[in-house]
């Protein structure tokens, strides 16, 4: 990573035109930090700002979400979960043969040595994520969507919590504070959740975004107001001359570039592969439903441990987000996944009334080791990686953008980015 980084720095230029492929939270954050450093930015996206996972996420600024998805023992539990109607894991069976190589590597990363190293890196990225959002949004008009506060985990009883002690020990060892609450303490903390859980854990120093779509759109509007350019187009290729990318090729024309940032989520491999790289990246499909004008609203985002989904209070609606489904990039929604979210939410909130339910499905860009790909692209010296954030894209987006912008600007981030390097898969 460092030798590749030095190669980039040797060619550093104070004022550059940086083309950023992807207008999600990662790409837009990168654009803002680059602008603040004096560079010209062009953001390209085939749909528009926050059109994918940056819109449909749970809206939580999850500083303590440092526990990898693949944990010890998951390989034993996963087959049973696939056939359990109440488990938040789904497989589109026609896609299963294609997913096997990814899943094998994914499960192999679930050993205790690996998960502790992964948690160290995730903690580095996420520990101050609420502050990072405040910093990137300062002066943009998007600040109004940020709320600093708690993230609460709700359990059926203490025994269920005790069975998950590895994850909580990992948080404690990395200085992520939390407070245990019995049913009465939870009821005092949030009367709306009284009688719904037998045990809970409150995690301070977190936050939420009241409308992720509007938030990222407002950040992108600020980029344009500051002189940045947005192009709605599909990136098809790049032109490489003398070992460097000189132009990004879209379906509407070519865009000249001094530097290129690949931040287009699960679609990033399209460019990575064309440039000679290879990342084990999978589309992990996620879902949310929103109860519009709900009669019940939790005080803080609430992780419902039994269903592994999050209830987040948003502007005029309660968003319930979760589910893991491996099924490639098919746009067809799995009705069983949506019905699971509805059933589990209404089992927890049986008296809930609302105007309607809105549904969404999107694609999380997931790697085999639960870590994003951040930093210098080792095959081409003026290309940068910023993708693969699986469940923590919203939380980690601003710091990812800050790190990438610093490196393009010729600065060395005060962090060990080797665990995020693209060449770790070689």
Q: What is the pLDDT of residue 37?
A: 97
More reliable by pLDDT, 284 or 7: 284
Q: Could you give the CA distance from residue 340 to residue 362 in angstroms, rounded to a whole number? A: 16
- 157 contacts: CB under 8 Å, gap ≥ 6: 198, 199
CA distance 347 to 407: 49
Instruction: Write the pLDDT tens digit of every residue in 19-53.
Output: 999 999 999 999 999 999 999 999 999 999 998 89
Per-residue pLDDT reduced to its tens digit, 111-126: 999 999 999 999 999 9
Whole-number Å distance between alpha carbons of 286 and 291: 17
Given a cut of 90, whether residue 303 has pLDDT beyond it is yes
pLDDT at 121: 98
pLDDT of residue 8: 45
pLDDT of residue 91: 86
Taking 90 as the threshold, does the pLDDT of residue 175 lie above it?
A: yes
pLDDT at 34: 98
Backbone phi, psi, residue 275, to 5°: -95, 10
What is d(CA 35, CA 29) in angstroms, rounded to the nearest whole number? 10
pLDDT band at 1 (very low <50, low <70, confident <90, very high): very low
For 257-354, where are the E strands, in sequence order?
A: 259-262, 281-292, 302-304, 309-314, 317-326
Q: What mean pLDDT is reported for the chain? A: 93
pLDDT digits (tens, 9 = 90+) for 197-221: 999 999 999 999 999 999 999 999 9
Cα distance between the two ends of the chain: 13
| DSSP assigned state of 424 | G
Q: Give the model confidence (pLDDT) of 311-365 as tens digits.
A: 999 999 999 999 989 998 888 899 999 999 999 999 999 999 999 999 999 999 9
- Fold that domain 2-54+214-280+370-425 belongs to in CATH: FAD/NAD(P)-binding domain (3.50.50)
Do residues 239 and 246 make contact, with C-beta atoms less than 8 angstroms apart?
Answer: yes
Name the residue ranges covered by the structural domains of the chain. Answer: 2-54+214-280+370-425
Among the listed residues 264, 234, 231, 230, the one whose alpha carbon sits nearest the alpha carbon of residue 46? 234
pLDDT band of residue 75 (cuts 50, 70, 90) is: confident
pTM over 0.85: yes
Q: What are phi and psi of 283, to 5 degrees?
A: -85, 105
Residue 424: pLDDT over 70: yes
Percent of the chain with pLDDT over 70: 97
pLDDT band at 14 (very low <50, low <70, confident <90, very high): low
pLDDT for 349: 98
Q: Is the pLDDT of residue 240 over 50?
A: yes
pLDDT of residue 5: 43
Q: Regarding beta strands 244-250 and 356-367, do their DSSP bridges make them parallel or antiparallel, or are they unpaired?
A: unpaired
The confidence band for 4, taking pLDDT boundaries of 50, 70 and 90, is very low
Tokens 């950023």 sit on residue: 20
Q: Under a CB-based contact definition with an 8 Å cutoff, are residues 325 and 81 in contact?
A: no
Tokens at residue 22, please? 């992807």
pLDDT recorded at residue 72: 87
Mean pLDDT, rounded, for 70-76: 81
Distance of CA 188 to the CA centre of its chain: 32
Look at residue 293 in the predicted model and tell me its pLDDT: 98
Quick check: 223 and 230 in contact, CB under 8 A? yes
Query: What's the pLDDT band for 267 if we cut at 50, 70, 90?
Result: very high
| Whether 261 contacts 404, CB under 8 Å | yes
Which one, of 386, 375, 378, 381, lies nearest residue 411 by Cα?
375
Mean pLDDT of 288-309: 96
Asked whether the predicted pLDDT for residue 13 surpasses 80, the reply is no
pLDDT band at 83 (very low <50, low <70, confident <90, very high): confident
Per-residue pLDDT, 17:
98
């Amino acid at each position: 990573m460092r030798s590749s980084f030095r190669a980039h720095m040797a060619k550093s230029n104070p004022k550059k035109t940086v083309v950023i492929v992807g207008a999600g939270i990662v790409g837009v954050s990168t654009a803002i930090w680059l602008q603040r450093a004096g560079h010209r930015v062009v953001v390209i996206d085939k749909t528009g700002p926050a059109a994918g996972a940056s819109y449909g996420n749970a809206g939580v600024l999850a500083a303590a979400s440092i526990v990898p998805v693949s944990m010890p023992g998951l390989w034993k539990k996963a087959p049973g979960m696939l056939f359990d109607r109440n488990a938040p894991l789904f497989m589109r069976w026609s896609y299963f043969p294609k997913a096997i190589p990814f899943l094998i590597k994914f499960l192999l990363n679930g050993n205790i040595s690996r998960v502790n190293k992964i948690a160290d890196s995730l903690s580095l990225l996420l520990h101050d994520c609420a502050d990072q959002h405040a910093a990137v949004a300062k002066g943009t008009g998007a600040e109004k969507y940020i709320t600093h506060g708690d993230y609460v985990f709700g359990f059926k009883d203490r025994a269920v919590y005790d069975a998950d002690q590895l994850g909580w020990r990992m948080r404690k060892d990395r200085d992520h504070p939390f407070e245990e609450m019995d049913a009465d303490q939870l009821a005092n903390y949030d009367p709306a959740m009284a009688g719904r859980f037998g045990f809970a854990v409150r995690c301070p120093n977190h936050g939420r975004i009241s409308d992720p779509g509007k938030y990222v759109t407002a950040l992108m509007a600020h980029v344009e107001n500051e002189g940045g350019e947005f192009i709605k187009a599909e990136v098809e290729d790049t032109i490489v001359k003398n070992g460097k990318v000189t132009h990004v090729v879209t379906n509407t024309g070519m865009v000249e570039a001094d530097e290129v940032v690949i931040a287009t989520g699960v679609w990033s491999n399209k460019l990575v592969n064309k440039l000679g790289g290879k990342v084990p990246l999978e589309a992990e499909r996620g879902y949310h439903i929103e109860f519009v004008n709900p009669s019940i609203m939790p005080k803080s985002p609430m992780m419902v441990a039994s269903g592994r989904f999050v209830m987040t209070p948003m502007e005029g609606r309660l968003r319930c987000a979760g589910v893991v489904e491996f099924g490639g990039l098919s746009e067809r929604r799995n009705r069983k996944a949506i019905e699971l979210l509805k059933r589990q939410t209404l089992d927890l909130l049986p008296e809930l009334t609302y105007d309607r339910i809105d549904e969404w499905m999107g694609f999380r860009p997931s790697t085999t080791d639960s870590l994003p790909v951040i930093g210098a692209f080792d095959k081409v010296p003026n290309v940068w990686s910023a993708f693969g954030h699986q469940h923590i894209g919203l939380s980690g987006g601003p710091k990812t953008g800050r790190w990438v912008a610093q490196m393009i600007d010729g600065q060395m981030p005060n962090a060990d980015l080797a665990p995020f390097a693209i060449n770790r898969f070689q």
